[in-house]
Amino acid sequence: MSNEEKKLSPKQRSRRNFLGQSLTAAGAAIAAPSLLNSCQNKTADSASNDLVEGETMIRLKINGEFQKLNVEPRVTLLDALREQLGLTGSKKGCDHGQCGACTVIIDGERVYSCLTLAVMQEDKEITTIEGLATEDNLHPVQMAFLDNDGFQCGYCTPGQICASVALLDEIKNGSVSYVTPDLTSPPELASLSETEIKERMSGNLCRCSAYNGIVAAVQQAAGQTPPSPAASIENQQVEEVS
């Protein structure tokens, strides 16, 4: 991120703003508003009264709002979010539970939206990446990803962020992992080791391999002082020279 961008308020560097700016830069400004509008209209209520054969009408609670939609039972939650509700923040990387790009939070727990059917999620509280920021502020985990370069292309990032948000709650709830040395004493936020973070984030792959930044972002969000990945590379070089 350039220094100028860093000076912007969180709201100014929101995703929507970014999308609009980059489309303008690419000379396709006209496409931006219509793209956004069509998504917003769909979000309001994507269910019409006439069901196509094989469809049922379901009601999902997403980011605090109820949405009605007509789906066939075979539609995954990920496809419902992206194709019917215009919530394209959740990404389809593999569609087989192998990458984490589609991670959302349901009833407080992170899950892969590609491995569950939309019909199965009625009455649950679904939070997607679109639901983390408030009107004025990014979520602290979103800020931490920005501050620590926790991404390159950004495709895996919504999943990484949702996973990290849930991870922090898991630590607060005393959950253990495969690498927890003593299963009867789970780590706390302050003592959460790099090994623990890597194991607990292993369900989210990053093709750009921004892993150092992702670990640092989780450390920051956990209240630890993260080593900036760039800084630690510089330190290594200094050590080698001296």
Partner 1 sequence: MKNFAYVRPNSVEDAVSRATSDRDALFIAGGTNLVDRLKVFLDEPSQLLDVSRLAMKQIATTNEGGLKIGALVTNTALANNIDVRNNYPLLSRAILAGASQQIRNMATVGGNLMQRTRCPYYYDTAFPCNKRQPDTGCPAATGINRIHAILGSSDRCVAVNPSDMSVAMVALDATLEVQGVEGKREIPFVDFHRLPGNTPERDTNLEPGELITAVILPPVSFAQSGVYLKLRDRASYAFALVSVATALEVSGEQIKNARIALGGVAHKPWRATEAEEFLIGKAANKSNFEQAAEIALKDAQALAHNGFKIELSKRAIRRALAVSAQGGGEA
Ligand X SMILES: Cc1cc2nc3c(=O)[nH]c(=O)nc-3n(C[C@H](O)[C@H](O)[C@H](O)COP(=O)(O)OP(=O)(O)OC[C@H]3O[C@@H](n4cnc5c(N)ncnc54)[C@H](O)[C@@H]3O)c2cc1C
Q: Is 111 a residue that touches partner 1 (CB under 8 A)? A: yes
208 binds, among ligand FES, ligand X, partner 1, none (CB under 5 to 8 A by kind): ligand FES
Q: Is 35 a residue that touches partner 1 (CB under 8 A)? A: no
Q: Is 154 a residue that touches ligand FES (CB under 6 A)? A: yes
Which residues are 59's β-sheet partners?
Answer: 68
92 vs 139 by CB, closer to partner 1: 92
Kindly state the DSSP code that residue 155 receives in the 8-state scheme: S
Among 70, 157, 177, 212, binds partner 1 (CB under 8 A): 177
Q: Is 110 a residue that touches ligand FES (CB under 6 A)? A: no
Q: Is 202 a residue that touches ligand FES (CB under 6 A)? A: no
What are phi and psi for residue 194, nearest 5 degrees?
A: -60, -40
Nearest to 146 by CA among 213, 89, 201: 213
Nearest to 197 by CA among 232, 237, 233, 170: 170
Measured between alpha carbons, how far is 27 from 237 in angstroms, rounded to an integer? Answer: 42
94 binds, among ligand FES, partner 1, ligand X, none (CB under 5 to 8 A by kind): ligand FES
Three-state DSSP at 103 gives strand
Q: How many CB atoms lie within 10 A of CB 214?
A: 28
Are 71 and 55 in contact by the 8 Å Cβ rule? The answer is yes
- For residue 220, the minimal CB distance to partner 1 (Å) is 20
Amino acid found at 209: S
Q: Is 97 a residue that touches ligand FES (CB under 6 A)? A: yes
37 vs 98 by CB, closer to ligand X: 98
Q: Is 97 a residue that touches ligand X (CB under 6 A)? A: yes
32 vs 205 by CB, closer to partner 1: 205
User: Which listed range, 19-27, 198-206, 212-220, 230-238, lies at the site for partner 1 (CB under 8 A)?
Assistant: 198-206
Three-state DSSP at 167 gives helix
> What angle do the packed helices 157-172 and 140-147 form, to 10 degrees?
120
Q: Is 86 a residue that touches ligand FES (CB under 6 A)? A: no
Interface residue list for ligand FES (CB under 6 A): 92-95, 97-102, 112, 114, 151-157, 206-208, 210
